[in-house]
Amino acid sequence: MLKRSDFVFHGEVTKIQYSDPAGPANSISIGTGGTWAPILEGAPHTFVTLRVLESLRGRTKSEEFVTLRFYGGPDGKGSYYATSLDPTFVMGERQILFVRGNGTSETPLVGGHGGQIREFAGGAYSSSGVALVGLNDNRRDPQLIFDGGLEPSLSYRSYPAPSFAGLRMRDDFTEMIAESGLSETAAWAEYENNAPREIVEFLVEEPVTAPGTALSIEDLLAQIRLTAQRVTKPRAGFISQDPYQPFSFVEHKLAAGPKRTTRKPTDEYDPDRWSASTGSVK
């Protein structure tokens, strides 16, 4: 993972902002006292600013704060956009991040959530809150070993709730207001007075399993420092992103299927191959 990173650092989350490519005139931070989520017309993105506590690989141009840009987040209209590679960020939390392609990749961490180690009570945890219990004995390229259940304090994501104006842009919400019989003003007051300012989505597991005993974050940092001396310098530099500037975003272009496959030109699929019981393996 170190080899594939442009920049590896131990940092502390100081700001989480949401914006879209058009420009974040209404970008906001969570935890600032009950601010609703900004209404985004374009693809929602999350900007995470961290204070660099220690740079472990790559240069930061002596910046004390760096900002990473991720695809996804709340659109301010009641929807949340996520990918299966998403890491988790919580205000004030300390993390070790293995960054790659900030500003060009939609999830600029090596392996997505795999490039994030979260610090909790002095221990190291995965993005979803599974304890890092050790490293394997591959001295050249140690692999991280995780085990156990989710640490409850880490297994959630939170983001600012949509404003009433944002929700009014949803057809289903408009229908619910109509069904409630409330006037527009009464519905607005109802929402403003009672709706929580923050949405919290928990990651749950069945059964609930005790978290593993986490490796100390200091031990992990020591191991990373040691390993970083043995790997070559990163090829690409790190560029911090500016949440207050417009940025380019292009939806993924579709492509034909891959060339490098095991398919043979003469192959033909048998539609009934697996479709029915064969009666017996015997």
Partner 1 sequence: MITTNRRSRILVINLSLLILMALPTLCDAARWRTCGGSPQRWSGERISIHPAAVSFGSDPRLAAALRYSVNTFFNRNASEFDFRIMDFDHGNFSTRNGRNQIAFTADDIGAPAVAYRTTRCYWWFFAVRRGIVEGDVLFSNRSRWDFGNQFQRRNITAWRGRFRPFYTTALHELGHVAGLSHESRVYNIMGSDPTHLNATTNGEYLPSVGEDAGLGLVRLYGRGNQDDLAVTSFVRTGASGEYSAHDFGLIRDTNQGFVLKWRSYPVGRRFDVARGQLVDVPFTFENPGGVDHRNVRVSFYISANMNISDNDIEIGSRAINFLFDSPRTVTTTLRIPDGLVFGGTYYLGVVINSDLALEEDWYHNNTAYHPIRIRG
Q: Which of residues 191-210 bind partner 1 (CB under 8 A)?
A: 191, 194-196, 199, 201-207, 209
**CB-based contacts of 192: which residues, under 8 Å, 6+ apart?**
164
Rule CB under 8 A: choose which of 16, 39, 43, 52 binds partner 1. Answer: 43
Nearer to partner 1, 186 or 222 (CB): 186
Pairwise CA distance, residues 203 & 208, whole Å: 11
At closest approach, how far in Å is the CB of 108 from partner 1?
8
Pairwise CA distance, residues 55 & 43, whole Å: 31
Nearer to partner 1, 92 or 257 (CB): 257
Q: How many residues bind partner 1 (CB under 8 A)?
A: 79
Of residues 86-105, those binding partner 1 (CB under 8 A): 101, 104-105
Query: Within a 10 A sphere around the Cβ of 228, how many other Cβ atoms?
Result: 17
**DSSP-based three-state secondary structure for 48:** strand
At position 270, the amino acid (one-letter code) is D
Count Cβ atoms within 10 A of the Cβ of residue 272 and give its class: 0-12 exposed, 13-18 middle, 19 or more buried: exposed
Binding status of residue 262 toward partner 1 by CB under 8 A: yes
At closest approach, how far in Å is the CB of 133 from partner 1?
9
Pairwise CA distance, residues 26 & 157, whole Å: 22
Half-sphere exposure of 48 (CA within 13 A, CB side): 28
At closest approach, how far in Å is the CB of 251 from partner 1?
5
Binding status of residue 140 toward partner 1 by CB under 8 A: no
Nearer to partner 1, 39 or 167 (CB): 167
Rule CB under 8 A: choose which of 145, 165, 189, 236 binds partner 1. Answer: 145
18 beta partners: 46
Rule CB under 8 A: choose which of 33, 62, 84, 171 binds partner 1. Answer: 84
Of residues 166-185, those binding partner 1 (CB under 8 A): 167, 170, 172-173, 176, 180
At closest approach, how far in Å is the CB of 179 from partner 1?
9
Of residues 58-77, those binding partner 1 (CB under 8 A): none
Query: Within a 10 A sphere around the Cβ of 173, how many other Cβ atoms?
Result: 18
Half-sphere exposure of 77 (CA within 13 A, CB side): 15
